[in-house]
Structure 1
Amino acid sequence: MLYNFTIIAIALFISCYIYGSKIEPNWIEVVPIQLTIPNLSPAFNEFKIVQISDLHSNRFMPTKRLDRIIKLVNQQKPDVIAITGDFITKHENFNSQELEEKLSKLVSQISTLSVLGNHDHKGNANATDNLKQALVNSNVTNLDNQVYVIERGTKKLTFAGVDDPYWGKPDLDRVIKLLPDDSAAILLVHEPDYIAKSAATHKFALQLSGHSHGGQIKIPFLNPFILPYGGKKYFAGLNQIEDTLEYTNRGLGMTGLPLRINSRPEITVFTLHSLS
């Protein structure tokens, strides 16, 4: 009896490891979401945002998988691509030239925008500087406490970004001062639980975040056992806090245990609609 139990347990462990390390990390889910934004101008009806997050460029993000991610993003024909941080992994070397080459293949109608995450800051300063330069070289606009205004005639849609709230140098007050008065605003910030602060300003229609990986390893019907600081409350999916919508993307890479179980890597496709 004990022998049989041991064999079953070993077989189950091996099966979970193979699934979590080889199958689910490659089983990328493209999630379509229709969003009605109350103060969005009709000029931006059907505006398409494709969000990716947490690439974690390291040995657990093979070149072949990254190529497939880029291809899937481009197939969505986005107006804007939003990358919500953690391009790299703390204390691990990354190939800035390779990352630059891959990111430069992203194609959007208007722009590719980003913010940095905790891992992008928690390595050495050289890694952060190299990452920022790679973003510049690959035509990714890093919204480091900045805004990016898109105009269609006299109508505007604004994207804003806050540097990582816990390990970067965030300046939400500066961002708010830069916001146009007559525009719907979308905030990019790595940690989803920052919504408690951003929603209180009543300045943003939508916040896009990542960070939590959806728990990365999740038992069905239960909340994840391990969630990172800043991503414990709103760890996945669509949420509403006061008058602001918040979406947490499950990300594409892995940290800690290089496994994904019941938390598939995600590319999110938002199609925006106005009330009128």
Structure 2
Amino acid sequence: MFTNAVIILIIVFSILEIYLYFNFKKFIKSKLILFSNIFIWVAVLANLGYNLIFFDRSIGQTQTTMLATGLFLLFGLPRLFLVIIYFFQDVVRGLGWIVNRIRNNKNKQTDSYLPSRRKFIMISGLSIAAIPFFSLLYGMIQGKYNFKVIRKKLSYDRLPKSFNGFKILQISDIHSGSLDNKEKIEYAIDLINEQDFDIFLFTGDIVNNFHWEMDKWIEVFSKIKQAPYGNYAVLGNHDYGEYTDWKSEEDKQENFEKIKAIFPKIGMELLLNENRFIHKNGEKIALVGVQNWGTRFKKLGDLKVASEGVNFSDFKVLMSHDPSHWNEIVKSDPKHYDLTLSGHTHGMQFGIEVPKIGLKWSPAEYIYPQWAGFYNYQGKIINVNRGFGYHFFPGRVGVWPEITMIELQTS
């Protein structure tokens, strides 16, 4: 079934390439350019097809498979733009021809302007297609490590006065199996350590599948400084080894145990459906950490168990990897979870965000109602962190890797 889908994909894009070829050859006279373009695309399709058909789930995603995906998007997305533009042009020309035939307009001059107009559309199409090409190219080379510190002040009337000004640093979705540049990651760790925070929270997906993906990064992430009130973590859907084939259930469980053992090595306490009280000047807030719960993924998070001993009156910070948990369960829970910290979506690693004019879009919004940033429901707030690392596509365009700094304030 999967192989058939890959073959259909290749056939569809091959047909589109033939269509583009007949459009190009009217204005590009160099056969070297024409056939070089086709050769590159055929190579990209063949590379993607090979990596998908022979994908080994026991190994999982590799740098090679991510590169194949990245090249396909890099050269394929601009082609889709061109196909849409040129197809629209052909439809308009076809309709014009039909109208002229109906009117019996035989004026030969009606077509005299078409070559120049078509050339204009050809050049315009190439110019438009260059935008996604260079955006994706930048995203693959630089964007995936274009770390941004997002700062937000949140006011609550339920917050104990002793915690006015309390600072939370959140990161999410490290995906260590995807990372490929130690120098850039060390820069990000330095950026984290430059921040003034009271507590450090990591909201899941430390690996893609396997515990050993983190081996070469433990030394790097262990340099994250210890916050005065602790460094805590929860698991994400990728931390359970669900996206690979195992020889036995014992092997899968062993991998899971070794993933959990990573966290103390990098100075984090892992919360598995449990809570901790953070005390300051005789007052307290509750930190609650659940296992993964998602509408599309594993549902191990148990809010009731995780909140044992926590009362309605306690100000609560909840760590839950998947924001669909907040949307489906948490925001309506009578215990009132004041702040939920999630990740998971990565903002789909592709989008447009211009905060100054309120522009914010990503394909992720068609899947997750809360996909990046802060959302408020009756005084209960969630932050969906855009993620530290990346997955599947080896880059980021417009939705940059995020370090969140949250300052709690009393209303």
| TM-score after normalising by structure 1 | 0.89
The change in CA–CA distance for 1:51 and 1:257 in structure 2 (over 3 A counts) is same
Letter in 1 for 2:404: T
User: How far is 1:182 from its partner?
Assistant: 4.8
Among candidates 209, 218, 223, match of residue 100 of structure 1:
218
Separation in 2 of the partners of 1:115 and 1:41?
A: 25
Question: Which residue is 1:262 aligned to?
Answer: 398
Q: Which residue of 2 aligns with 1:225?
A: 363
Q: Distance in 1 between matches of 2:220 and 2:299?
A: 25
User: 2 CA distance for matches of 1:97 and 1:13?
Assistant: 35
Aligned position for 2:343: 210
The structure with the greater share of residues assigned to strand is 1
Alignment correspondent of 2:260: 132
Match of 1:143 among 268, 271, 277: 271
Whole-angstrom distance in 2 between the partners of 1:9 and 1:39: 51
Does the 8 Å CA contact 1:146/1:178 hold for their aligned counterparts? no
Residues 184-206 of structure 1, C-alpha deviation per residue, up to 9 Å, x if partnerless?
A: 11000001121131111143110
Q: 1:62 to 1:155 in 2, by over 3 A?
A: same
Q: Which amino acid aligns with 1:269?
A: M
Q: What corresponds to 2:136 in structure 1?
A: 17
Say whether 1:198 aligns with 2:330.
yes
Give secondary structure in 2 for the equivalent of 1:17: helix
**Is it true that 1:171 corresponds to 2:302 in the alignment?**
yes
Kindly state the Cα deviation for residue 14 of structure 1 after the two structures are TM-superposed.
Answer: 4.7
Conserved? CA contact 1:212–1:227, under 8 Å: no
Residues 214-252 of structure 1 show CA distances to partners (whole Å, capped at 9, x for unaligned) of 121125657422569xx6110011101233111111012
* Structure 1 residue 164: Cα displacement: 0.3
Higher relative CO (CA 8 A, sep ≥ 6), structure 1 or 2?
1
Q: Percent identity?
A: 25
Aligned to 1:189: 320
- Structure 1 pair 214–151 and aligned structure 2 pair: CA distance change class (3 A): same
> What does residue 67 of structure 1 align with?
186
Contact (CA 8 Å) 1:200, 1:242: kept in 2 or not? no
User: How is 1:10-49 mapped onto 2 (pairs within 5 angstroms)?
Assistant: 12=131, 14-49=133-168
Structure 1: runs of 5+ lacking an equivalent? none
Once residues 45 and 61 of structure 1 are traced to their aligned partners in structure 2, the CA distance between those partners, rounded to angstroms, is 39
Letter in 2 for 1:150: I
Looking at structure 2, the residues matched to 243 and 11 of structure 1 have their Cα atoms a distance apart, in angstroms, of: 44
Structure 2: gaps (5+ residues)? 1-25, 29-121, 244-251, 354-358
- Quick check: 2:364–2:371 contact (8 Å CA) kept in 1? no
Please provide the CA RMSD for this pair. Answer: 2.4
SS of residue paired to 1:158: strand
TM-score normalised according to structure 2 size? 0.61
CA distance in 1, matches of 2:389, 2:308: 34
- Inter-CA distance 84–134: structure 2 relative to 1 (3 Å threshold): same
SS of match in other structure, 2:337? coil
**Which has the larger Rg?**
2
Aligned-partner SS, 2:306: helix
SS across alignment from 1:183: coil
Distance in structure 1 (CA, Å) of the matches to 2:131 and 2:146: 20
- Structure 1 pair 10–247 and aligned structure 2 pair: CA distance change class (3 A): closer
Q: 1:180 to 1:226 in 2, by over 3 A?
A: closer
- From the two aligned structures, give the one with the greater helix fraction: 2
SS at match of 2:393: coil
**CA offset at residue 175 of structure 1?**
1.7
Deviation at 1:13, TM superposition (A): 5.7
Q: Map of 1:232-271 to 2, 5 A cutoff?
A: 232-271=368-407
Q: Is the 8 A contact 2:352 2:399 kept in 1?
A: no
**1:138 Cα deviation after fit:** 2.3
- Give the Å deviation of 1:114: 0.8
Question: 1:10: how far off?
Answer: 7.7
Distance 1:20 1:183, change over 3 A: same
Paired residue type of 2:215 = Q
